Structure 1
Amino acid sequence: MTTPSKQEYRLQNLSCASCAAKFEKNVKAIPEVKDAQVNFGASKLTVVGDISVNQIEEAGAFDGIKVSQSPKRTIEKSTPFYKKTENILASISLVFVVLGYVLSSVRGEVDTLVIAMFIIAIVVGGMEIFKTGFRNLAHFEFDMKTLMTIAVIGAAIIGEWEEAAVVVFLFAVSEALEAYSMDKARQSIRQLMDIAPPTALIKRAHGEHFHEMELPTEQIEIGDILIVKPGQKIAMDGVVLSGRSAVNQAAITGESIPVNKITGDEVFAGTLNEEGALEVHVTKRVEDTTIAKIIHLVEEAQAEKAPSQQFVDRFAKYYTPAIMIVALLVAVLPPLFMGDWQHWIYQGLAVLVVGCPCALVVSTPVAIVTAIGNAARQGVLIKGGIHLEQLGHIEAVAFDKTGTLTKGKPEVTDIFTHNNMTEETVLQLVAAVEKQSQHPLAKAILTTLHEKGLTELVPTDFQSITGKGAYATVDGQKVSVGSLKWIATLTTVDEMTKERVNQLQAQGKTVVAAVSDDQLIGIIGIADQLREESKHVLQKLHALKVKHTVMLTGDAKPTAEAIASSLGMSDVRAGLLPAEKLTAIKELRAKYGAVAMVGDGVNDAPALASANVGIAMGGAGTDAALETADIALMGDDLTKLPYTIGLSRKTLRIIKENIIFALALKLIALLLVIPGWLTLWIAIFADMGATLLVVFNSLRLIRVRNK
């Protein structure tokens, strides 16, 4: 028995959250479908089963949904607002409404021609509404279009032709504006999808020769050589084979400054080659590139329901039937005691319209979609609405030290010389020995040598001594480099040098000492340097009312305390193993409640998983960071942390505002029933106003930037 295939499809014209739910239900009802899930925020459908695009479009015919296969690229032709069929019909409806009002002022409201104008306006403007409404009524499904259909038919029965016509027109306008607004919110994903070019020029081996050809990215294979000219976008992930250039990686990492790339450096699809020509060895297929993973994770994040959205969905499930019961009671009870059936039936119809949960249902997803899309454009990958919400409640932030608060790359900070040696000579001799070493400190010394433009000396007879250091013959001298404890066994170390070493170690620096032919020639202080932005980031976090910041590190206590002191951090826990970091996070959660952990996504995996929100540094190109953490700072940029916490708190605030707006406007309108003042006009304005208010309020999140 074969396993049903899993397919993804892109959707167009998916207009509202309730339409998405109904479309998903229709697709699941197709016999060949085992399972289906609609991602409203990303306009995407995932289906398990073997079905055709035509079958899916038939399931979405009620909303005019168009379907295309994913990941196949489709160029979405954006139809101008004034050319969309539903908007043209709404405009024609408006013309007949105006004609009806003009004629009624001349011939009276009960004139046959006047009523005919309003009927034409109702039929033209409400054609799609009624088709769906009647179909829903036949299946006892109640959404906004069903409620509108009942309300308009009821208004017509009691002779309220002009109000029915105006309500149909206003509803058509609200639908058009809501579709426009949701499209605006979805642009964040569309912009991500458009980052990488659809085709690229490659060189591919044919026997002993290479042939150049332009291919769609879907046909490019691992091992192909990508040719990238100045000003072109890089189409695939890979490693630079030849050439040198500055590459703008803002689309992936959010970095504003281009990064210099040379042979051996990694480059990402969707980034812009600014200066030189590059040849790039392709290392990933198009569906596995970093940008493809980002798009996938952002779409999945927008599909995942945040706690507030789950609450709203549960609430709406009971809210709609309750409104229908209230509408029935308003239409029936008062006239039993007071008479005037026409007036109270009209009031009941108005309650039906005003009570539609559209604004409530859309209040949370549109905010989540907008915030996650904005963050992705800023180089922050948030893997779900639940993490976005949790980050807004964070009371304490724990930081790994190496590579998070510091650069993660040791640098030479001090050189002290002895026996009339110059700094340059000491550096050259030490670098010659360290050149053969695999120790991380060796790289720092060689980097400083190259930065100073000094010549590399050639060593011979190199020998490494585990845990102590190394020695080699350089320019006829035996040069030994290593810890002061070992060097002290090879030569005499004076008290002043010992004191200086103690001072350097108290500052958190590692000390390398060097001897030439049994004479001490110098000591070198090396430290992992603080990120320039670390102190400013901690200040911003405190300004955001984060109660506590703490450093968790496996480094020695003196080094950790020196770093913490320069940052103004009062809580530092040093010498921790991964399991001890996990224990520390549990203690922080017990004390402060919600805790975020910021680390590199590999060594800190247990602590990242245990924290309420795990945040990984440097997600670009790092699969472990993308998989382990709840949030990834793609550009290895710590300043994105306060921005992300600020964005999450603003999102929470906007979601609360949206729910209050949606319920308050409807409550005010419903209270108008008591004196009998509620009209269909007020009802549709309350519903339309609430929906547009929450959508436009959510779109404010597009403007949040990292400052």
Structure 2
Amino acid sequence: MTSAPPLPHPPAGGTSTSPAADAVRDVPAPRRRTRIFALPEARWAAAALALFLAALPLHLLGAPAWAWGPLYAAAYVTGGWEPGWAGLQALRGRTLDVDLLMVVAAIGAAAIGQVLDGALLIVIFATSGALEAIATARTADSVRGLLDLAPATATRIADDGGEETVPGAALKAGDTILVRPGERVGADGRVLDGASEVDQATITGEPLPVAKEAGDEVFAGTLNGTGALRVKVERDPSDSVIARIVAMVEEASRTKAPTQLFVEKIEQRYSIGMVAATIALFALPLLLGAALQPTLLRAMTFMIVASPCAVVLATMPPLLSAIANAGRHGVLVKSAVVMERLGQVDRAALDKTGTLTEGTPRVTDIRPLPASGMDENALLTLAAAAEHPSEHPLARAIVDGARTRGLAVPPVTGFASAPGTGVTATVGGRAVAVGSPARLLGGRDDHPAAAAAELEREGRTAVLVGVDGTPVGVLGIADRLRTDAAATVTALSALTGSAPVLVTGDNPRAAARLAEEVGIDDVRAGLLPQDKVAAVREMEQAGRKVLVVGDGVNDAPALAAAHTGIAMGRAGSDLALETADAVVVRDELAAVPTVVGLSRRARRLVVQNLVIAGTFITGLVVWDLVGTLPLPLGVAGHEGSTVIVGLNGLRLLADSAWRRARDRNGR
């Protein structure tokens, strides 16, 4: 995001201790995303892969060892030194991690002549580390870029009424600022005077701008409409809602339970046991007088056949195949860990605007008043003509509604717009007014007011149309429900055993109407970002593994805090897309339960593969311990089991796997 300059740091003398203040100080907004090869992990992994690919054909074609040996050695060094060093650092803290174990296994394989196997293992682990580093860097970029939403400067009104331009971070509670038409609000505060409509979708997710007048609250980073506002600052910029979103995303990312594949949960005990057994198998025979070379060969054979890389590879193919299949069908799952976690969810929390709905307001009701003598088309034509010069989202919805019906929109003269009220124009010699019923009716209690109130009770935004000072009809405007929303709610209910929760910043009436249409009973409306996080944590404290589906900046903290987060990709904010664990690229909501079902099938295949791999490892280890296992046979058995479980996992690459998950709703 480069539409605004970076938010300046607070003055040196500032003394805030809130997490949000720390986020503003410590997270400068960069002007561009981190480049992949700016990360050392990516550079080393790319070098190791290139060296391995250069050595492999030479080795397989029978070239002399001096041609491919140095290339393999360089691949070992470039790909293995970082995980090896990290493993040694962990060892100093009395932790044996799989990185060090894999490096040792690779070196052991090379020591007994299996140079290719060891190099492949090194490249796999280096690439995995690079992908993790890239994902972390991209998420950090997006979190920092959120601060670009807040303007770098603001117009502060001095005590004598003069105006001065000051850095946004220099504002403090009690200051008064002027927000001109089209500007972003510089700080959280309350309107002192003026009237306008403010687009605060980044904070609350509401699809339409909200009318603001004296006494109403406004948020930093929201976009002012056509009116001017004088705002009294109520919070320092370091404690604004935007800054708190940054802090919440970072805190949730830090405190989220460690994400591990199933096999990694037994990594420590298995690794320690394997190292201890290898050392014992080497040392004890030597102490009893055995020869060095056969003893070393037997110990290395044991290390190869008992190596957890077979189990790791047994785990990854089903998950990676599921990721590839989901990607072909428009769902980007960011890692194997995420694919595994998707199958564990047992409660879903869905955003409203842009998730269950399309995020674009549409004309849903056209109600001419009986006394007007107009039909629906005539009423809509008049409203569209008056609104045609306006850029307001409601105006665009009305004009689009007329075009959808194929209506010809006549030209107008004398167009005027009043913030918070509506528009007026002359259409065919008649004065037409379109706008807020409350403002245009002036508190009247009659048929037009009753019609508008009925629409508002149903969750629509009511728009009154008047001609020559007389009301002639009312239009209802609402965000349109996605065609697959109800089916998605039903499928998620079947998958998780309970109906999803609706969590939205929109008003309670609109939320209740939509929830009734899709079959959701638990509705939580009018939520700010921190309220959504609180709702997620409340469900998780009750023992639930929560899936959050959203699309906006205001959803990002909840996406980060949830067990798993999925973002809608087409209109999703950068922050939501980077924070989420998966992205529905094509905006097909029905893909959410399908990918959850695919994940559950992948988890079942992982269990099958672990049983197969465990059986092979156990058999080979017992053979090596009780008898004499020839090294070539041990390698063949070890690699053979890997091939079998790999082929088993690749079954999820077929399109039929996606169709089966979709048709069964993941059950």
Deviations along 1:43-92, whole A, 9 cap, x unmatched?
Answer: 635xxxxxxxxxx79xx86x5646xxxxxxxxxxxx9xxxx4544549xx
Structure-1 separation of matches of 2:572 and 2:534: 30
- 1:674-693 counterparts in 2 under 5 A? 676=627, 680=631, 683-693=634-644
Q: Which residue of 2 aligns with 1:599?
A: 550
Report what 1:645 is aligned to. 596
Matches within 5 A, 1:114-125: none
- Distance in 1 (CA, whole Å) between partners of 2:562 and 2:300 is 51
CA 680–565 in structure 1, closer or farther in 2 if over 3 Å, else same:
same
Partner of 1:224: none
Is residue 353–residue 680 contact of structure 1 (8 Å, CA) maintained in 2? no
1:143 and 2:94 aligned: no
CA distance in 1, matches of 2:473, 2:106: 81
Residue 473 of structure 1 aligns to which amino acid in structure 2?
T
Structure 1 residue 665 and structure 2 residue 612: aligned? no
| 1:350 to 1:577, Cα distance in 2 relative to 1, 3 A | closer
Q: Specify whether residues 591 and 305 from structure 1 end up closer, same or farther in structure 2 by C-alpha distance, changes over 3 A only.
A: closer
CA distance in 1, matches of 2:42, 2:275: 24
Which of 449, 452, 463 in structure 1 is aligned with 2:416?
463
679-688 or 580-589: bigger deviation: 679-688
2:390 to 434, 437, 447: 437
> Residue 234 of structure 2 aligns with which residue?
none
Task: Determine if contact 2:560/2:579 at 8 Å carries over to the other structure.
Answer: yes
Q: Could you say which residue in structure 2 is the equivalent of 1:318?
A: 272
Q: Does 1:37 align with 2:58?
A: no
Aligned equivalent of 2:587, options 636, 639, 644: 636
Cα separation, 1, equivalents of 2:540 and 2:554:
20
Q: Secondary structure at the match of 2:408?
A: coil
Q: Deviations over 1:159-204 (max 9, x none)?
A: xxxxxxxxx9xx98x999999999xx9xx9xxxxxxxxxxxxxxxx
| Residue in structure 2 matched with residue 524 of structure 1 by the alignment | 475
Q: 1:423 aligns with which of 365, 376, 393?
A: 376
Residue 457 of structure 1 aligns to a residue whose secondary structure is: coil
Let me know the Cα RMSD of the aligned residues: 4.9
Judge conservation of contact 1:614–1:629 (CA < 8 Å) in 2.
yes
Q: Are residues 662 and 434 of structure 1, via their aligned partners in 2, closer, same or farther at CA, if it must alter by over 3 Å?
A: same
Q: Distance in 1 between matches of 2:465 and 2:570?
A: 39
Q: After the TM superposition, which residues 362-377 of structure 1 pair with which residues of structure 2 at under 5 Å, given as runs? A: 362-377=313-328
Query: Measured at CA, do residues 557 and 341 of structure 1 come closer, stay the same or move farther in structure 2, by a change above 3 Å?
Result: closer
Distance 1:681 1:623 in 2: 52
Contact 1:178 1:691 in 2 (8 A): no
Percent of aligned positions that are identical: 32
How many Å separate the matches in 1 of 2:572 and 2:527?
27
Q: Does 1:549 align with 2:503?
A: no
Pair 1:560 & 2:560 matched: no
Amino acid at match of 1:580: D
Question: CA 1:128/1:695 → structure 2, altered by over 3 Å: closer, same or farther?
Answer: farther
Which residues in structure 2 correspond to 1:186-265 (within 5 Å)? none
1:454 matched to 2:429? The reply is: no
Deviation at 1:344, TM superposition (A): 9.9
Q: CA–CA distance in 2 between the matches of 1:44 and 1:381? A: 23
| CA distance in structure 2 between the aligned counterparts of 1:425 and 1:630, rounded to whole angstroms | 49
The CA distance in 2 between the partners of 1:608 and 1:181, in whole Å, is 29
Q: Secondary structure at the match of 2:500?
A: strand
Give the aligned residue type for 1:588.
Answer: M
Which residue identity lines up with residue 520 of structure 1 in the other structure?
P
For the Cα contact (< 8 Å) 1:144–1:356, is it kept in 2? Answer: no
Distance verdict in 2 for CA 1:694–1:399, change over 3 Å: same
* 3-state SS in 1 of match to 2:589: coil
Residue 74 (structure 1) aligns with: none
Do the aligned partners of residues 693 and 479 (structure 1) sit closer, same or farther apart at CA in structure 2, a change above 3 Å counting? same
8 A contact 1:625–1:632 mirrored in 2: no
For residue 484 of structure 1, what is the aligned residue in structure 2? 437
Q: Give, in angstroms, the shift of residue 395 of structure 1.
A: 2.1
Residues 372-404 of structure 1: CA deviation (Å, up to 9, x unaligned): 444444332333444334333222221111111
CA distance in 2, matches of 1:466, 1:358: 66
Residue by residue over 1:457-488, the C-alpha shift from the partner in whole angstroms, topping out at 9 and shown as x without a partner, is 22233333443333222211122223333444
Q: Distance in 2 between matches of 1:578 and 1:64?
A: 48
Counterpart AA for 2:645:
V
Change (3 A) 1:536 1:702: same
Moved more, 352-361 or 589-598: 352-361
Give the superposition deviation at 1:449: 1.0
Alpha carbons of structure 1 residues 492 and 410: separation in structure 2 relative to 1, 3 Å: same
Q: Which moved more, 1:415-424 or 1:319-328?
A: 319-328
In structure 2, give the amino acid aligned to 1:328: F
TM-superposed CA distance for 1:434, in Å, is: 1.9
Cα deviation digits, residues 330-359 of structure 1 (max 9, x gap): 8679x99xx999999997776455334431
Corresponding residue to 2:305 among 344, 354, 374: 354
Unaligned runs of 5+ in 2: 1-33, 78-83, 85-99, 132-257, 663-667
Q: Offset at 1:147?
A: 4.9
502, 511, 518: which one aligns with 2:462: 511
For 2:456 and 2:571, locate their aligned partners in 1 and report how far apart those are by CA, in whole Å.
Answer: 34
Matched with 2:184 is none
CA distance in 1, matches of 2:355, 2:571: 15
Distance, in Å, in 2 between the alignment partners of 1:514 and 1:677 is: 92
- Residue 570 of structure 1 and its aligned partner are, at CA, apart by 1.1
Q: 1:585 touches 1:595 (CA, 8 Å); kept in 2?
A: yes
Shift of 1:559: 1.9
Structure 1 alignment gaps of length 5 or more: 1-5, 11-34, 46-55, 67-78, 91-122, 153-167, 189-303
- Residues 319 and 357 in structure 1, CA contact (< 8 A), matched pair in contact too: no
TM-score, with length taken from structure 2? 0.59
Deviation at 1:545, TM superposition (A): 2.6
CA distance 1:455–1:629, change in 2 (3 Å): same
Which has the greater radius of gyration? 1
1:537 alignment counterpart:
488
Q: Which residue does the alignment assign to 2:251?
A: none
The separation in 1 between residues aligned to 2:40 and 2:346, in whole angstroms, is: 38
Distance 2:425 2:478 in 1: 24
- How many pairs does the alignment contain? 473
Preserved contact between residue 462 and residue 470 of structure 1 (Cα < 8 Å): yes
Change (3 A) 1:381 1:546: farther
CA distance in 2, matches of 1:340, 1:580: 69
Matched, 1:409 2:360: yes
In 2 relative to 1, CA 38–146 (structure 1 residues): closer, same or farther, beyond 3 Å?
farther
AA matched with 2:278: M
- Matched residue type, 1:694: V
In the alignment, is the contact (CA less than 8 A) between 2:555 and 2:576 conserved in 1? Answer: no
**Distance in 1, Cα, partners of 2:293 & 2:533:** 69
Q: 1:487 to 1:601 in 2, by over 3 A?
A: closer
User: Which structure is richer in relative contact order (CA contacts within 8 A, separation 6 or more)?
Assistant: 2
CA deviations on 1:524-561 (whole Å, 9 max, x unpaired) are 22221110011111122223235441111222222211
2:491–2:593 Cα contact (<8 Å) kept: yes
Please give the secondary structure, in 2, of the residue aligned with 1:437.
Answer: coil
SS of alignment partner, residue 341 of structure 2:
helix
SS of the residue corresponding to residue 687 of structure 1 reads helix
